[in-house]
Protein backbone atom coordinates (compact mmCIF):
# COMPACT_ATOMS: atom_id res chain seq x y z
CA UNK A 1 0.00 0.00 0.00
CA UNK A 2 1.17 3.52 -0.84
CA UNK A 3 -0.10 6.94 0.22
CA UNK A 4 -0.33 9.33 -2.74
CA UNK A 5 -0.63 13.05 -1.94
CA UNK A 6 -2.25 15.67 -4.17
CA UNK A 7 -2.21 19.28 -3.03
CA UNK A 8 -0.60 22.68 -2.88
CA UNK A 9 2.44 24.14 -1.10
CA UNK A 10 1.03 23.44 2.37
CA UNK A 11 1.29 19.72 1.47
CA UNK A 12 4.31 19.78 -0.85
CA UNK A 13 7.80 18.39 -0.24
CA UNK A 14 10.42 20.70 1.21
CA UNK A 15 12.62 22.39 -1.39
CA UNK A 16 16.31 22.44 -0.52
CA UNK A 17 16.53 26.15 -1.37
CA UNK A 18 13.62 26.93 1.02
CA UNK A 19 14.54 24.73 4.00
CA UNK A 20 13.14 24.63 6.69
CA UNK A 21 9.88 25.77 5.02
CA UNK A 22 7.88 22.61 4.43
CA UNK A 23 4.48 21.21 3.57
CA UNK A 24 3.05 18.61 5.95
CA UNK A 25 3.34 15.91 3.29
CA UNK A 26 7.12 16.10 3.58
CA UNK A 27 6.91 14.91 7.18
CA UNK A 28 4.23 12.25 6.75
CA UNK A 29 6.55 9.31 6.09
CA UNK A 30 7.87 9.56 9.66
CA UNK A 31 4.40 8.80 11.04
CA UNK A 32 3.11 6.04 8.73
CA UNK A 33 4.29 2.52 7.93
CA UNK A 34 3.82 2.70 4.15
CA UNK A 35 5.57 4.61 1.35
CA UNK A 36 4.48 8.20 0.71
CA UNK A 37 4.42 9.56 -2.84
CA UNK A 38 4.00 13.32 -2.68
CA UNK A 39 3.13 15.11 -5.93
CA UNK A 40 1.84 18.33 -4.31
CA UNK A 41 3.44 21.55 -5.51
CA UNK A 42 3.44 25.25 -4.68
CA UNK A 43 0.66 27.33 -6.18
CA UNK A 44 -1.37 24.30 -7.21
CA UNK A 45 -5.09 24.48 -7.76
CA UNK A 46 -7.33 21.57 -8.66
CA UNK A 47 -7.17 22.88 -12.23
CA UNK A 48 -3.39 23.35 -12.47
CA UNK A 49 -2.85 19.95 -10.89
CA UNK A 50 -4.72 18.49 -13.85
CA UNK A 51 -3.30 20.79 -16.54
CA UNK A 52 0.31 20.24 -15.41
CA UNK A 53 -0.11 16.51 -15.85
CA UNK A 54 0.41 15.91 -12.13
CA UNK A 55 -2.95 14.22 -11.66
CA UNK A 56 -2.39 11.85 -14.57
CA UNK A 57 1.07 11.05 -13.21
CA UNK A 58 -0.32 10.43 -9.76
CA UNK A 59 -3.27 8.26 -10.76
CA UNK A 60 -1.20 6.23 -13.25
CA UNK A 61 0.68 4.59 -10.37
CA UNK A 62 -2.23 4.14 -7.97
CA UNK A 63 -2.99 0.49 -7.29
CA UNK A 64 -5.85 -1.29 -5.56
CA UNK A 65 -5.56 -0.86 -1.81
CA UNK A 66 -3.64 2.43 -2.01
CA UNK A 67 -4.85 5.69 -0.48
CA UNK A 68 -4.97 9.07 -2.25
CA UNK A 69 -5.03 12.07 0.09
CA UNK A 70 -6.33 15.27 -1.53
CA UNK A 71 -6.03 18.82 -0.12
CA UNK A 72 -6.62 21.92 -2.25
CA UNK A 73 -8.31 25.27 -1.69
CA UNK A 74 -5.64 27.84 -0.81
CA UNK A 75 -5.14 28.78 -4.44
CA UNK A 76 -8.48 27.68 -5.87
CA UNK A 77 -10.17 30.47 -3.91
CA UNK A 78 -8.12 32.98 -5.92
CA UNK A 79 -9.95 31.89 -9.10
CA UNK A 80 -13.64 32.13 -8.14
CA UNK A 81 -14.96 32.17 -11.71
CA UNK A 82 -13.26 28.95 -12.83
CA UNK A 83 -12.91 27.26 -9.44
CA UNK A 84 -15.92 28.35 -7.38
CA UNK A 85 -16.32 26.35 -4.21
CA UNK A 86 -19.58 24.78 -5.44
CA UNK A 87 -18.53 24.81 -9.09
CA UNK A 88 -15.19 24.01 -10.70
CA UNK A 89 -13.45 23.24 -7.43
CA UNK A 90 -16.05 20.72 -6.35
CA UNK A 91 -16.25 19.20 -9.83
CA UNK A 92 -12.51 18.58 -9.99
CA UNK A 93 -12.43 17.09 -6.49
CA UNK A 94 -15.26 14.79 -7.56
CA UNK A 95 -13.18 13.69 -10.56
CA UNK A 96 -10.22 12.90 -8.30
CA UNK A 97 -12.42 10.78 -6.03
CA UNK A 98 -14.08 8.94 -8.92
CA UNK A 99 -10.82 8.11 -10.66
CA UNK A 100 -9.24 6.97 -7.40
CA UNK A 101 -12.14 4.64 -6.73
CA UNK A 102 -11.95 3.33 -10.28
CA UNK A 103 -8.46 2.11 -9.38
CA UNK A 104 -9.75 0.23 -6.34
CA UNK A 105 -8.06 2.73 -4.02
CA UNK A 106 -9.35 4.87 -1.17
CA UNK A 107 -9.80 8.62 -1.66
CA UNK A 108 -9.48 10.86 1.40
CA UNK A 109 -10.56 14.50 1.18
CA UNK A 110 -8.98 17.16 3.40
CA UNK A 111 -10.10 20.67 4.11
CA UNK A 112 -7.33 23.28 3.87
CA UNK A 113 -4.98 23.94 6.74
CA UNK A 114 -5.85 27.30 8.26
CA UNK A 115 -3.77 30.41 7.82
CA UNK A 116 -2.42 31.85 11.07
CA UNK A 117 -4.42 35.09 11.04
CA UNK A 118 -5.34 36.08 14.57
CA UNK A 119 -7.90 38.62 15.73
CA UNK A 120 -7.16 38.83 19.42
CA UNK A 121 -7.02 35.26 20.73
CA UNK A 122 -9.18 33.82 17.95
CA UNK A 123 -8.27 32.81 14.43
CA UNK A 124 -9.88 34.60 11.50
CA UNK A 125 -11.22 32.12 8.90
CA UNK A 126 -9.81 32.90 5.46
CA UNK A 127 -11.09 30.12 3.19
CA UNK A 128 -14.72 31.18 2.88
CA UNK A 129 -17.03 28.42 1.69
CA UNK A 130 -14.27 26.11 0.45
CA UNK A 131 -13.98 23.98 3.62
CA UNK A 132 -17.77 23.55 3.75
CA UNK A 133 -17.79 22.55 0.09
CA UNK A 134 -15.28 19.78 0.86
CA UNK A 135 -17.26 18.63 3.88
CA UNK A 136 -20.46 18.49 1.88
CA UNK A 137 -18.80 16.64 -1.00
CA UNK A 138 -17.33 14.08 1.40
CA UNK A 139 -20.79 13.49 2.81
CA UNK A 140 -22.38 13.30 -0.64
CA UNK A 141 -19.82 10.83 -2.00
CA UNK A 142 -19.41 8.90 1.26
CA UNK A 143 -15.68 9.68 1.34
CA UNK A 144 -13.49 9.88 4.47
CA UNK A 145 -12.76 13.45 5.50
CA UNK A 146 -9.82 14.83 7.47
CA UNK A 147 -10.87 18.29 8.60
CA UNK A 148 -7.55 20.10 8.72
CA UNK A 149 -9.27 23.48 8.91
CA UNK A 150 -10.83 22.52 12.22
CA UNK A 151 -7.71 20.81 13.54
CA UNK A 152 -5.27 23.60 12.69
CA UNK A 153 -7.64 26.29 13.96
CA UNK A 154 -7.78 24.45 17.28
CA UNK A 155 -3.99 23.90 17.26
CA UNK A 156 -3.07 27.54 16.69
CA UNK A 157 -5.61 28.88 19.18
CA UNK A 158 -4.61 26.33 21.80
CA UNK A 159 -0.95 27.30 21.47
CA UNK A 160 -1.76 31.01 21.39
CA UNK A 161 -0.47 33.86 19.29
CA UNK A 162 3.19 33.67 20.30
CA UNK A 163 3.72 29.90 20.46
CA UNK A 164 1.82 29.17 17.25
CA UNK A 165 4.22 31.43 15.34
CA UNK A 166 6.92 28.82 15.94
CA UNK A 167 5.05 26.43 13.62
CA UNK A 168 5.37 28.82 10.69
CA UNK A 169 8.04 30.29 8.44
CA UNK A 170 9.00 33.12 10.74
CA UNK A 171 12.73 33.53 10.25
CA UNK A 172 14.94 36.17 11.77
CA UNK A 173 17.52 37.89 9.54
CA UNK A 174 20.43 35.52 9.07
CA UNK A 175 18.56 32.51 10.48
CA UNK A 176 18.34 30.71 7.14
CA UNK A 177 20.14 31.23 3.87
CA UNK A 178 16.85 30.99 1.95
CA UNK A 179 15.69 34.33 3.40
CA UNK A 180 18.79 36.20 4.58
CA UNK A 181 16.74 39.29 5.39
CA UNK A 182 14.19 37.30 7.39
CA UNK A 183 10.61 36.28 6.67
CA UNK A 184 7.18 36.40 8.33
CA UNK A 185 4.84 33.94 6.60
CA UNK A 186 1.60 32.85 8.28
CA UNK A 187 0.57 30.41 5.54
CA UNK A 188 3.56 28.10 5.14
CA UNK A 189 4.93 25.89 7.89
CA UNK A 190 8.47 25.48 9.00
CA UNK A 191 9.36 21.81 9.47
CA UNK A 192 8.26 21.81 13.12
CA UNK A 193 4.75 22.85 12.10
CA UNK A 194 4.68 20.41 9.20
CA UNK A 195 5.42 17.57 11.64
CA UNK A 196 2.52 18.56 13.90
CA UNK A 197 0.04 18.44 11.02
CA UNK A 198 1.54 15.27 9.54
CA UNK A 199 1.20 13.47 12.86
CA UNK A 200 -2.49 14.35 12.94
CA UNK A 201 -3.00 13.26 9.33
CA UNK A 202 -1.30 9.94 10.08
CA UNK A 203 -3.50 9.39 13.14
CA UNK A 204 -6.58 10.17 11.07
CA UNK A 205 -5.52 7.80 8.30
CA UNK A 206 -5.11 5.00 10.82
CA UNK A 207 -8.60 5.73 12.13
CA UNK A 208 -9.98 5.60 8.59
CA UNK A 209 -8.27 2.28 7.95
CA UNK A 210 -9.59 0.77 11.18
CA UNK A 211 -13.10 1.96 10.35
CA UNK A 212 -12.85 0.62 6.81
CA UNK A 213 -11.92 -2.74 8.26
CA UNK A 214 -15.16 -2.69 10.24
CA UNK A 215 -17.16 -1.43 7.24
CA UNK A 216 -18.07 1.90 8.91
CA UNK A 217 -20.15 4.77 7.67
CA UNK A 218 -17.92 7.14 5.71
CA UNK A 219 -17.94 10.86 5.11
CA UNK A 220 -17.19 11.31 8.80
CA UNK A 221 -15.43 14.24 10.42
CA UNK A 222 -12.02 13.40 11.85
CA UNK A 223 -10.66 16.08 14.14
CA UNK A 224 -8.93 14.23 16.96
Q: What is the pLDDT of residues 175-219, one digit of tens each?
A: 999 999 999 999 999 999 999 999 999 999 999 999 877 543 344
Q: What values do phi and psi take at 176, rounded to 5?
A: -140, 145
pTM over 0.85: yes
Give the count of domains, the chain.
Answer: 1
Q: Distance between CA atoms of 11 and 24, rounded to whole angstroms?
A: 5
Q: What is the pLDDT of residues 89-134, one digit of tens each?
A: 999 999 999 999 999 999 999 999 999 999 999 999 999 999 999 9
Q: What is the CATH number of the domain that holds 17?
A: 3.40.50.1110
Q: Distance between CA atoms of 94 and 198, rounded to whole angstroms?
A: 24
Which pLDDT value is given to residue 219?
45
Q: Distance between CA atoms of 34 and 41, rounded to whole angstroms?
A: 21
H helix or E strand, kind and range, residue 22: strand 21-22
Q: What is the pLDDT of residues 135-162, one digit of tens each?
A: 999 999 999 999 999 999 999 999 999 9
Name the residue range of residue 100's domain.
3-222
Which pLDDT value is given to residue 213?
74
Q: Distance between CA atoms of 176 and 49, rounded to whole angstroms?
A: 30
221: nearest Cα among 154, 152, 153, 144 = 144
2: nearest Cα among 27, 28, 41 = 28
Torsion sign (Cα): 174, 179, 181, 186: negative
Q: Helix, strand or coil for residue 145?
A: strand
Amino acid sequence: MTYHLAGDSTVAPMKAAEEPMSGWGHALSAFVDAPVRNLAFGGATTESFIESGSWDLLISEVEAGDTVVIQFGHNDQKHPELLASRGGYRDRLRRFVDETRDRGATAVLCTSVARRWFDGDSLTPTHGDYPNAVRDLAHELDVPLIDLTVFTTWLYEDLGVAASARLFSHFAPGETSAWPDGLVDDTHFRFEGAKKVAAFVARSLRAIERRDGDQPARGSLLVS
